[in-house]
Protein backbone atom coordinates (compact mmCIF):
# COMPACT_ATOMS: atom_id res chain seq x y z
CA UNK A 1 0.00 0.00 0.00
CA UNK A 2 1.08 3.58 -0.67
CA UNK A 3 0.82 6.74 1.38
CA UNK A 4 -2.57 8.33 1.98
CA UNK A 5 -1.05 11.63 3.13
CA UNK A 6 2.42 12.99 2.41
CA UNK A 7 3.53 16.33 3.86
CA UNK A 8 6.99 17.72 3.07
CA UNK A 9 8.48 20.89 4.54
CA UNK A 10 5.06 22.43 5.12
CA UNK A 11 5.00 26.04 6.28
CA UNK A 12 2.20 28.50 6.87
CA UNK A 13 2.52 32.11 7.98
CA UNK A 14 -0.26 34.59 8.64
CA UNK A 15 0.24 38.27 7.93
CA UNK A 16 -0.67 40.83 10.60
CA UNK A 17 -1.12 44.58 10.26
CA UNK A 18 1.80 46.56 11.73
CA UNK A 19 3.26 43.35 13.20
CA UNK A 20 5.56 40.62 11.99
CA UNK A 21 3.87 37.54 10.45
CA UNK A 22 2.88 34.61 12.65
CA UNK A 23 4.51 31.35 11.55
CA UNK A 24 1.88 28.76 12.47
CA UNK A 25 3.45 25.69 10.80
CA UNK A 26 7.23 25.40 10.56
CA UNK A 27 8.60 22.81 8.13
CA UNK A 28 6.35 19.88 9.07
CA UNK A 29 7.09 16.63 7.23
CA UNK A 30 5.28 13.33 7.75
CA UNK A 31 3.63 10.46 5.89
CA UNK A 32 0.47 8.56 6.79
CA UNK A 33 0.17 5.14 5.16
CA UNK A 34 -3.04 3.69 3.76
CA UNK A 35 -4.88 1.74 6.44
CA UNK A 36 -3.10 3.60 9.27
CA UNK A 37 -4.66 5.58 12.10
CA UNK A 38 -2.51 8.62 12.88
CA UNK A 39 -3.11 10.91 15.84
CA UNK A 40 -1.94 14.53 15.67
CA UNK A 41 -1.36 15.90 19.18
CA UNK A 42 -0.50 19.35 20.45
CA UNK A 43 -1.66 22.26 22.56
CA UNK A 44 -4.07 24.89 21.28
CA UNK A 45 -2.33 26.99 18.64
CA UNK A 46 0.32 24.33 17.95
CA UNK A 47 -0.54 24.11 14.26
CA UNK A 48 -2.82 21.06 14.15
CA UNK A 49 -5.90 22.69 12.69
CA UNK A 50 -3.82 24.84 10.33
CA UNK A 51 -2.22 21.70 8.89
CA UNK A 52 -5.63 20.07 8.45
CA UNK A 53 -7.06 23.19 6.76
CA UNK A 54 -4.20 23.06 4.27
CA UNK A 55 -4.95 19.39 3.57
CA UNK A 56 -8.61 20.27 3.05
CA UNK A 57 -7.80 23.10 0.64
CA UNK A 58 -9.34 25.70 2.95
CA UNK A 59 -6.10 27.69 3.11
CA UNK A 60 -2.91 27.61 1.06
CA UNK A 61 0.52 26.75 2.42
CA UNK A 62 3.20 29.44 2.37
CA UNK A 63 5.82 26.83 1.43
CA UNK A 64 6.24 23.09 1.18
CA UNK A 65 4.12 20.37 -0.34
CA UNK A 66 1.12 18.29 0.75
CA UNK A 67 -0.49 15.45 -1.19
CA UNK A 68 -3.45 13.13 -0.61
CA UNK A 69 -3.20 9.80 -2.42
CA UNK A 70 -0.42 11.38 -4.50
CA UNK A 71 -2.62 14.27 -5.66
CA UNK A 72 -1.58 17.83 -4.63
CA UNK A 73 -4.02 19.30 -2.10
CA UNK A 74 -4.39 22.37 -4.34
CA UNK A 75 -6.44 20.16 -6.66
CA UNK A 76 -10.03 19.53 -5.51
CA UNK A 77 -9.91 15.94 -6.82
CA UNK A 78 -7.46 15.12 -4.00
CA UNK A 79 -10.44 15.15 -1.64
CA UNK A 80 -12.57 12.75 -3.66
CA UNK A 81 -13.68 9.98 -1.32
CA UNK A 82 -12.47 11.89 1.76
CA UNK A 83 -14.58 12.40 4.88
CA UNK A 84 -13.83 15.51 6.96
CA UNK A 85 -15.17 16.74 10.30
CA UNK A 86 -13.83 20.08 11.64
CA UNK A 87 -13.53 20.78 15.35
CA UNK A 88 -16.66 22.97 15.28
CA UNK A 89 -18.75 21.72 12.37
CA UNK A 90 -21.25 24.14 10.89
CA UNK A 91 -24.24 22.49 9.24
CA UNK A 92 -27.19 24.18 7.57
CA UNK A 93 -29.40 24.30 10.64
CA UNK A 94 -32.66 24.39 8.69
CA UNK A 95 -31.91 20.93 7.25
CA UNK A 96 -32.46 17.58 8.94
CA UNK A 97 -29.75 14.96 9.57
CA UNK A 98 -31.23 12.76 6.85
CA UNK A 99 -31.09 15.63 4.35
CA UNK A 100 -27.47 16.39 5.30
CA UNK A 101 -26.41 12.77 4.69
CA UNK A 102 -28.32 12.47 1.41
CA UNK A 103 -26.70 15.71 0.24
CA UNK A 104 -23.27 14.30 1.15
CA UNK A 105 -23.86 11.20 -0.97
CA UNK A 106 -24.85 13.33 -3.97
CA UNK A 107 -21.90 15.71 -3.62
CA UNK A 108 -19.40 12.83 -3.48
CA UNK A 109 -21.13 10.89 -6.24
CA UNK A 110 -21.58 7.81 -4.04
CA UNK A 111 -24.03 5.26 -5.43
CA UNK A 112 -25.79 2.88 -3.03
CA UNK A 113 -28.81 0.64 -3.56
CA UNK A 114 -31.18 2.54 -1.26
CA UNK A 115 -29.73 5.93 -0.35
CA UNK A 116 -32.31 6.74 2.31
CA UNK A 117 -31.96 3.38 4.06
CA UNK A 118 -28.16 3.71 3.89
CA UNK A 119 -28.27 7.16 5.53
CA UNK A 120 -30.80 6.08 8.16
CA UNK A 121 -28.55 3.16 9.08
CA UNK A 122 -25.65 5.52 9.75
CA UNK A 123 -27.87 7.87 11.75
CA UNK A 124 -29.04 4.91 13.81
CA UNK A 125 -25.45 3.86 14.50
CA UNK A 126 -24.70 7.37 15.77
CA UNK A 127 -27.82 7.39 17.97
CA UNK A 128 -29.71 9.86 15.78
CA UNK A 129 -32.46 7.71 14.23
CA UNK A 130 -35.14 9.28 16.43
CA UNK A 131 -34.27 12.80 15.23
CA UNK A 132 -33.49 12.00 11.58
CA UNK A 133 -36.33 14.26 10.43
CA UNK A 134 -35.86 17.15 12.86
CA UNK A 135 -34.16 20.45 12.02
CA UNK A 136 -30.56 20.62 13.20
CA UNK A 137 -31.09 24.09 14.71
CA UNK A 138 -32.62 22.42 17.78
CA UNK A 139 -29.61 20.13 18.36
CA UNK A 140 -26.95 20.33 21.06
CA UNK A 141 -23.25 20.59 20.15
CA UNK A 142 -22.77 16.87 20.74
CA UNK A 143 -25.71 15.93 18.50
CA UNK A 144 -24.44 18.24 15.74
CA UNK A 145 -21.02 16.62 16.07
CA UNK A 146 -22.56 13.18 15.61
CA UNK A 147 -24.44 14.32 12.50
CA UNK A 148 -21.16 15.57 11.00
CA UNK A 149 -19.43 12.27 11.81
CA UNK A 150 -22.33 10.29 10.31
CA UNK A 151 -22.14 12.39 7.14
CA UNK A 152 -18.37 11.81 6.86
CA UNK A 153 -18.77 8.05 7.27
CA UNK A 154 -21.84 7.51 5.09
CA UNK A 155 -19.91 8.48 1.94
CA UNK A 156 -17.77 5.34 2.46
CA UNK A 157 -14.51 7.31 2.61
CA UNK A 158 -11.08 5.82 2.02
CA UNK A 159 -9.67 8.56 4.26
CA UNK A 160 -11.19 10.22 7.32
CA UNK A 161 -9.74 13.52 8.57
CA UNK A 162 -11.16 14.49 11.95
CA UNK A 163 -10.28 17.58 14.00
CA UNK A 164 -11.06 16.79 17.67
CA UNK A 165 -13.84 14.34 16.71
CA UNK A 166 -14.80 13.54 20.32
CA UNK A 167 -15.08 17.10 21.62
CA UNK A 168 -18.55 17.95 22.84
CA UNK A 169 -19.64 14.31 23.12
CA UNK A 170 -20.94 12.81 26.34
CA UNK A 171 -19.28 9.60 27.67
CA UNK A 172 -21.74 7.32 25.84
CA UNK A 173 -21.28 9.27 22.62
CA UNK A 174 -17.48 9.08 22.94
CA UNK A 175 -17.64 5.32 23.44
CA UNK A 176 -19.93 4.81 20.46
CA UNK A 177 -17.84 6.97 18.14
CA UNK A 178 -14.59 5.29 19.22
CA UNK A 179 -16.12 1.87 18.47
CA UNK A 180 -17.30 3.05 15.03
CA UNK A 181 -13.89 4.55 14.21
CA UNK A 182 -12.17 1.35 15.39
CA UNK A 183 -14.39 -0.66 13.05
CA UNK A 184 -13.62 1.75 10.20
CA UNK A 185 -9.92 1.23 10.85
CA UNK A 186 -10.27 -2.59 11.00
CA UNK A 187 -11.94 -2.60 7.59
CA UNK A 188 -8.94 -0.86 6.02
CA UNK A 189 -9.89 2.80 6.32
CA UNK A 190 -7.23 5.46 6.89
CA UNK A 191 -7.71 7.84 9.83
CA UNK A 192 -5.95 11.17 10.50
CA UNK A 193 -7.24 12.89 13.63
CA UNK A 194 -6.35 15.41 16.30
CA UNK A 195 -7.00 14.91 19.99
CA UNK A 196 -6.02 16.30 23.39
CA UNK A 197 -6.88 13.03 25.14
CA UNK A 198 -4.13 10.41 25.36
CA UNK A 199 -6.62 7.64 26.12
CA UNK A 200 -8.41 8.27 22.82
CA UNK A 201 -5.07 8.20 20.98
CA UNK A 202 -4.08 4.93 22.67
CA UNK A 203 -7.33 3.30 21.60
CA UNK A 204 -7.30 4.50 18.00
CA UNK A 205 -3.83 5.44 16.77
CA UNK A 206 -1.13 3.22 15.30
CA UNK A 207 1.21 6.21 15.51
CA UNK A 208 0.96 9.80 16.67
CA UNK A 209 2.85 13.02 16.09
CA UNK A 210 3.56 15.64 18.76
CA UNK A 211 3.52 19.18 17.35
CA UNK A 212 4.60 22.22 19.35
CA UNK A 213 4.75 25.82 18.15
CA UNK A 214 4.34 24.64 14.58
CA UNK A 215 7.22 22.15 14.78
CA UNK A 216 6.69 18.38 14.63
CA UNK A 217 8.77 17.27 17.64
CA UNK A 218 8.25 13.50 17.58
CA UNK A 219 6.42 10.69 15.80
CA UNK A 220 5.90 7.61 17.94
CA UNK A 221 3.60 4.70 18.73
CA UNK A 222 1.34 4.88 21.83
CA UNK A 223 3.06 1.81 23.28
CA UNK A 224 6.39 3.68 23.17
CA UNK A 225 4.86 6.60 25.04
CA UNK A 226 3.24 4.63 27.86
CA UNK A 227 6.35 2.48 28.14
CA UNK A 228 8.27 5.56 29.31
CA UNK A 229 6.41 5.54 32.63
CA UNK A 230 8.25 3.74 35.41
CA UNK A 231 5.20 3.67 37.66
CA UNK A 232 1.52 2.87 37.25
CA UNK A 233 -1.49 4.43 38.92
CA UNK A 234 -3.67 2.04 40.93
CA UNK A 235 -7.18 2.83 42.20
CA UNK A 236 -9.19 0.52 44.42
CA UNK A 237 -12.24 0.39 46.66
CA UNK A 238 -12.05 -1.10 50.14
CA UNK A 239 -12.17 -0.50 53.89
CA UNK A 240 -8.73 -1.72 54.98
CA UNK A 241 -5.62 0.46 54.48
CA UNK A 242 -2.87 -1.03 52.28
CA UNK A 243 0.75 0.13 52.23
CA UNK A 244 1.45 2.44 49.33
CA UNK A 245 -2.19 3.52 48.98
CA UNK A 246 -3.71 6.76 50.23
CA UNK A 247 -7.41 7.31 50.78
CA UNK A 248 -8.75 9.53 48.02
CA UNK A 249 -12.13 9.80 49.74
CA UNK A 250 -14.26 7.47 51.83
CA UNK A 251 -13.51 3.89 50.84
CA UNK A 252 -11.63 4.80 47.66
CA UNK A 253 -7.86 4.48 47.49
CA UNK A 254 -5.17 5.65 45.08
CA UNK A 255 -1.46 4.96 44.81
CA UNK A 256 1.51 4.99 42.45
CA UNK A 257 3.36 1.69 42.25
CA UNK A 258 6.62 0.66 40.62
CA UNK A 259 6.07 -1.55 37.58
CA UNK A 260 8.35 -4.20 39.10
CA UNK A 261 6.19 -4.33 42.25
CA UNK A 262 2.78 -4.17 40.57
CA UNK A 263 1.81 -7.83 40.94
CA UNK A 264 2.92 -7.92 44.59
CA UNK A 265 0.86 -4.80 45.24
CA UNK A 266 -2.21 -6.21 43.50
CA UNK A 267 -1.96 -9.35 45.62
CA UNK A 268 -1.85 -7.17 48.76
CA UNK A 269 -5.01 -5.39 47.63
CA UNK A 270 -6.73 -8.73 46.98
CA UNK A 271 -5.73 -10.04 50.41
CA UNK A 272 -7.15 -6.87 52.02
CA UNK A 273 -10.49 -7.41 50.28
CA UNK A 274 -10.16 -4.45 47.92
CA UNK A 275 -12.00 -4.22 44.60
CA UNK A 276 -9.71 -3.07 41.79
CA UNK A 277 -11.04 0.03 40.00
CA UNK A 278 -8.21 1.05 37.66
CA UNK A 279 -4.61 0.33 36.69
CA UNK A 280 -2.97 2.63 34.13
CA UNK A 281 0.40 4.24 33.33
CA UNK A 282 1.05 7.42 35.27
CA UNK A 283 2.42 9.16 32.20
CA UNK A 284 -0.21 11.68 31.13
CA UNK A 285 -0.48 13.41 27.78
CA UNK A 286 0.71 16.62 29.41
CA UNK A 287 3.84 14.99 30.86
CA UNK A 288 4.59 13.17 27.60
CA UNK A 289 4.19 16.40 25.67
CA UNK A 290 6.49 18.30 28.02
CA UNK A 291 9.14 15.60 27.63
CA UNK A 292 8.85 15.73 23.85
CA UNK A 293 9.38 19.49 23.74
CA UNK A 294 12.23 19.35 26.28
CA UNK A 295 10.52 21.10 29.18
CA UNK A 296 10.18 20.08 32.80
Is 115 contained in some domain?
yes
Does some domain include residue 118? yes
Based on the structure, what is the number of domains in the chain? 3
70 shares its domain with 170: yes
**Tens of pLDDT along 21-52?**
889 999 999 999 999 999 998 888 889 999 99
The answer on 77 and 8 residing in a single domain is yes
Of 116, 140, 157, which residue is a domain's last?
157
Distances (CA, A) of 211 to 9, 53, 165: 14, 15, 18
Q: With respect to residue 226, please indicate whether it lies within any of the assigned structural domains.
A: no
- Which of helix, strand or coil describes residue 133? coil
Residues 46 and 178 in one domain: yes
Please write the tens of the pLDDT for every residue from 146-161: 999 999 999 999 999 9
pLDDT digits (tens, 9 = 90+) for 273-290: 999 999 987 665 556 666
Query: Is 225 within a domain?
Result: no
pLDDT by residue (tens digit) across 163-219? 988 877 888 888 888 899 999 999 999 999 988 776 777 788 899 898 989 999 888
Query: What is the band of 17 on the pLDDT scale with cuts at 50, 70, 90?
Result: confident
Whole-number average pLDDT of the chain? 89
CB neighbour burial string for 138-171, b if at least 16 within 10 angstroms, e if fewer? ebeebbbbbbbbbbbbbbebbbbbbbbbbbbbee
* Residue where one domain finishes, among candidates 104, 124, 157: 157
If asked whether residues 153 and 270 sit together in one domain, one would say no
- Is 8 among the domain residues? yes
Residue 14 lies in a domain: yes
pLDDT tens for each residue of 49-107: 999 999 999 999 999 999 999 999 999 999 988 999 998 898 999 999 999 999 999 99
Is residue 10 packed enough to be buried (19+ CB in 10 Å), middle (13-18) or exposed (0-12)? Answer: buried
Q: What is the pLDDT of residue 146?
A: 94
Q: Are residues 171 and 54 in the same domain?
A: yes
In this structure, are 131 and 206 located in the same domain?
Answer: no
* 91 vs 249, higher pLDDT: 91
CA distance linking residue 126 with residue 180, whole number of Å: 9
Give the pairing type, strands 37-41 and 207-212: parallel
Residues 76 and 186 in one domain: yes
Residue 43 lies in a domain: yes
pLDDT band per the 50, 70, 90 thresholds, residue 296? very low
Q: How much is the pLDDT for 248?
A: 81
Please indicate, yes or no, whether residues 70 and 112 belong to a single structural domain of this protein. no
Q: What is the CATH number of the domain that holds 21?
A: 3.40.50.300
Cα–Cα distance for residue pair 75/240, rounded to 1 Å:
65
Of 130, 157, 184, the position where a domain reaches its end is 157
**pLDDT at residue 293, as a whole number:** 66
Q: 102 is in which domain, residue-wise?
A: 88-157
How confident is the model over 15-25, as a mean pLDDT? 89
CA distance 212 to 293: 7
Asked whether residue 128 falls in the same domain as residue 260, the answer is: no
Are 194 and 176 in the same domain?
yes
Q: 45, 79, 62, 84: which is closest to 192 by C-alpha?
A: 84
Whether residues 6 and 76 fall in one domain: yes
Cα 177 to chain centroid, rounded:
10
In this structure, is residue 241 part of a structural domain? yes
Residues 115 and 209 in one domain: no
Q: What's residue 169's pLDDT?
A: 83
Closest CA to 169 of 141, 198, 150, 191: 141
Indicate whether 228 pLDDT > 70: no
Amino acid sequence: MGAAIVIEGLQKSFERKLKSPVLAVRGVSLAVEEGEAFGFIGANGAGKSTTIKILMGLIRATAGDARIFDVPVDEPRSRRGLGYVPENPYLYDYLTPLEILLMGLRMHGVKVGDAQAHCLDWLDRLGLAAVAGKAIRSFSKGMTQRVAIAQALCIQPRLLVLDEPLSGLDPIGRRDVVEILSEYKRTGGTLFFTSHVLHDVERLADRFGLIHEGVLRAVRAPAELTGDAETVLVRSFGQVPVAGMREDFSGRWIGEVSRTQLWVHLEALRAAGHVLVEVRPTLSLEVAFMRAVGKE
